[in-house]
Structure 1
Amino acid sequence: MSRDLRSVIRGGRGLGLAVATALVTGGLAVVGAMWFDLPLRDPDGFLGPSWTRLPLILGLFMAADIVPRGVVRAKSVRGTPGALKQVIRERWPLSRLAIVLIALTSFYITYVGYRNLKSFLPVARQQSEDMALRASDQLLAFGSHPAEVLHDVFGTGVWAHILSWVYISFLFFVPISLAAALVWSRNISLGLWYTTALCLNWAMGTASYYLLPALGPFAVRSWNYADLPTTGVSQLQQGMLGARSSVMADPYATASVQSIAAFASLHTSIVFTAALIVHFAGFPRIVRATMWVFFVLTLISTIYFGWHYIIDDIAGLVIGAVSVALAGAATRGAADHLPSLAAHSGRRELASSR
């Protein structure tokens, strides 16, 4: 057995929980499609479907990791190809590439399973818990409507556009941060930790949707958001309502998926997950502060635009914290089995801080 293969097998143990989560989530999506006679979809997004978008982003990050180092190392234009090959051999041995591809595949399967199971929700769970969640909102906000309070505090002008940008940026943040963690981590266990935590977020989020199915305030109390200007969020909400109607009318006549579910907030859980990992991994102070600001603004935006009830965000915090803890326990020490990576990991390694 080659050294690279042994490294993949041993280091891959750190991805055991991510792989298991992918198999369970993906398997349930297949079973659900057969049980409810519904199509399986690869959900589209920016830059195309997930199966093309994720490898493309990963490839761009790998190029950004390799090319500058090769150019700096080369002593002439003719020497650049040789320098690039040397950088690839040092930074991207087969063991590391295989581990990264397994991690990316686990994320992809989990995410696609999550999106399909979420799309099956109106068929599988036809009742809505919005009334109960609205009551919890009034209780937690001392009789007020949380969104109206935020509209009074922030206004419905400039801040609506700022918070819309924050909310929409989540769609870019997840794949970009995943690629950055897998490619640019000096210690591969950071990337495995984050990947596993994301998989757990999708899986536990799916379970929460089925536990308390709900549409969210914007869908059941649209008049509370009539004063907000047209933003990327309002356009996204209208698009999601239209997609939901199309799927419910005839799921085989549309390529769309149903994407509306309130409890719990995965915007909250995933950004909280990223902020916790950045914090515990000892990133520079400016990075930690930026992530926490992004988290707070994301939390506010979920209520401001009526995506979620307060308790949805509380549940999101729980999912995020549990995901970080379980993923950390599952991946701790994974890089110890990848000596070819450790040799080139630089001065600061995550293993020393975990």
Structure 2
Amino acid sequence: MLRRNPYTFVGIVSLGIAATALYFSFDLGKKIVDPEGFLGPAYVRLPGLTLLFFAAGIVPQAMHRYGVRRTFWGIREVIRTDWTWARFTYIALGLLSFYTCYVSYRNLKSYLPDLRPPNWDTKLDTFDHWLFFGNYPSDLLHDVLGTGIIAQIIAVIYVSYLMLIPITLGAYLVLNKNVSIGAWYATALSLNWVLGTISYYILPTVGPAFNAPTRFYEIQNTPAGELQRSLFRAGRDYIENPNSTSVYGIAGFASLHVSVVFTACLFFHMTKIHLVLRTVAWTYFVGTLIATIYFGWHYMSDDIAGLLIGVIAVWVGAWATGNTKRQKEHAAAGHPDVDNPDVFPHPHEEESSGDTAVSTA
């Protein structure tokens, strides 16, 4: 009965990590903060994106069904005929779970200097040097790719992650009518924040750029370099000023840039979205992977651990929402593990039976 609702598992997980963040916040005398991105606070950013995708989902349909002149009337009709309270509820649950896990992760990450000061950088840096036969992987990338225009391109790829991942989540939750698919993606992304937090506390590091900054001076005039300086200033303020409102945001192992983007790509591949979109996603992933080493955000060990987190997040997300192969076969036999109607029913046809093909709004 634990997984009768596709959001039960991630709901429990989000409550667990939130309780953990609140406990350490109280224990350390720190306030829970809502980290702000360049698009504003998460509690503004996520609902805003949802509204944009909601509009993108219904306006074209209204114009197509009822004509441009009757768009406003058509919007009302599309909402009345295609949207149910259940659908709104699932979207809200997906966003709330993601938001809760993310904010808890950011706060627990901020407590690292108090609870688990970094002490693994030398070991991981030495491993990188050994792995690449007496070379640092970042130096090799600088030699091969240069430190000019390519640095600017890779930096844009790296920092754009902050915007693209919430956008893909909003798209899947709002534009896709399949309950379990949206829940699967929301669960997988949320698990990245939880597993990433655990990895930070297992092997606390700051990463090559903060441990050995002289190796990265040539690429400081990039968006990624500016972000590193911003994180360094905030981190120093957090450590030196007990009353600081700054958020400490430096952690190396594991790479959540790699884990989250890999999670998205693996999920897109498994749900068979359009080949062009999958190709773009995997290309973006390769750029992200290169950027983590090129700018010294992470060691190779961090990226390998990030790949592992991505695999675990996607698989557990599939299991928790009834999307494994075995569960689908079980459901086809009439014994679903999770209540996940393939398509939201028409508000006036909720009493009807029969299978409906998966579609998008």
TM-score (norm 2): 0.89
CA distance in 1, matches of 2:306, 2:67: 52
Q: Is the 8 A contact 1:10 1:337 kept in 2?
A: no
In structure 2, the residue matched to 1:335 is 340
Of 296, 316, 322, 1:326 maps to: 316
One of 11, 34, 38 as aligned partner of 1:42: 34
> Following TM superposition, by how much is the alpha carbon of 1:11 offset from its aligned partner in structure 2, in angstroms?
9.3
Distance 1:10 1:113, change over 3 A: closer
Could you list the per-position Cα deviations for residues 300-329 of structure 1 after superposition, in whole angstroms to 9, with x for gaps in the alignment? 100000000000000000000000000011
CA–CA separation in structure 2 for the residues paired with 1:287 and 1:167: 18
User: 1:288 maps to which residue?
Assistant: 278
The yes-or-no answer on 1:109 pairing with 2:105 is no
1:349, distance to aligned residue in structure 2 (A): 5.3
Q: Counterpart of 1:340 in structure 2: which amino acid?
A: P
Separation (CA, whole Å) in 2 of partners of 1:140 and 1:186: 46
Inter-partner Cα distance in structure 2 for 1:185 and 1:76: 24
Structure 2 counterpart of 1:234, from 225, 231, 235: 225
Greater displacement, 178-187 / 296-305: 178-187
1: CA distance, partners of 2:163 / 2:346 = 28
- What is aligned with 1:65? 57
> Equivalences for 1:256-295 in 2 at 5 Å?
256-295=246-285
The match for 2:165 is: 174
Which residue pairs with 2:199 in the alignment?
208
Secondary structure of the structure 1 residue equivalent to 2:111 = helix
- Unaligned segments of structure 2, at least 5 residues: 323-337
Instruction: Give the aligned partner of residue 124 of structure 2.
Output: 133
Q: Indicate how the Cα distance of structure 1 residues 272 and 101 shifts in structure 2: closer, same or farther if over 3 A, else same.
A: same
2:204–2:253 contact (8 Å) kept in structure 1: yes
Partner of 2:326: none
Percent identity of equivalent pairs: 39
Of 39, 51, 54, which aligns to 2:46?
54
Q: Distance in 2 between matches of 1:185 and 1:128?
A: 44
Q: Deviations over 1:76-102 (max 9, x none)?
A: 63x433321121123321111001101
Note closer, same or farther for the CA distance 1:128–1:65 as it changes in structure 2 (3 Å cut). same
Cα distance in 2 between the residues matched to 1:214 and 1:266: 13
| Range with bigger deviation, 239-248 or 184-193 | 184-193
- Counterpart of 2:298, as a letter, is H
For the aligned residue pairs, the C-alpha RMSD in angstroms reads 2.3
- Output the CA distance in 2 between the equivalents of 1:279 and 1:341: 29
Residue pair 2:205, 2:252 contacting (<8 A) in 1 also: yes
Question: In the superposition, relative to structure 1, how do residues 10 and 264 fare at CA in structure 2: closer, same or farther (>3 Å)?
Answer: closer
Cα distance, 1:186 vs structure 2: 4.0
Q: Tell me by how many angstroms 1:251 deviates.
A: 4.8
Greater per-residue helix proportion: 1
Segment drifting more, 53-62 vs 139-148: 139-148
SS at match of 1:14: coil
**Quick one: which of 9, 30, 33 aligns to 1:17?**
9
Report deviation, 1:264.
0.1
Aligned CA distance change for structure 1 residues 341 and 174 (closer, same or farther; 3 Å): farther
Aligned to 1:92: 83
Q: C-alpha displacement at 1:26, in angstroms?
A: 0.7
| Aligned AA (1:118) | K
Q: Which of 178, 182, 192 is the equivalent residue of 1:191?
A: 182
Corresponding letter in the other structure for 2:41: P
- Report if aligned partners of 1:38, 1:251 keep a CA contact under 8 Å in 2: no
Tell me the CA shift for residue 36 of structure 1: 1.3
Give the TM-score, by structure 1 length: 0.91
Partners in 2 of 1:213 and 1:23 — Cα distance?
24
The change in CA–CA distance for 1:11 and 1:213 in structure 2 (over 3 A counts) is closer
| Equivalent residue, structure 1, for 2:140 | 149
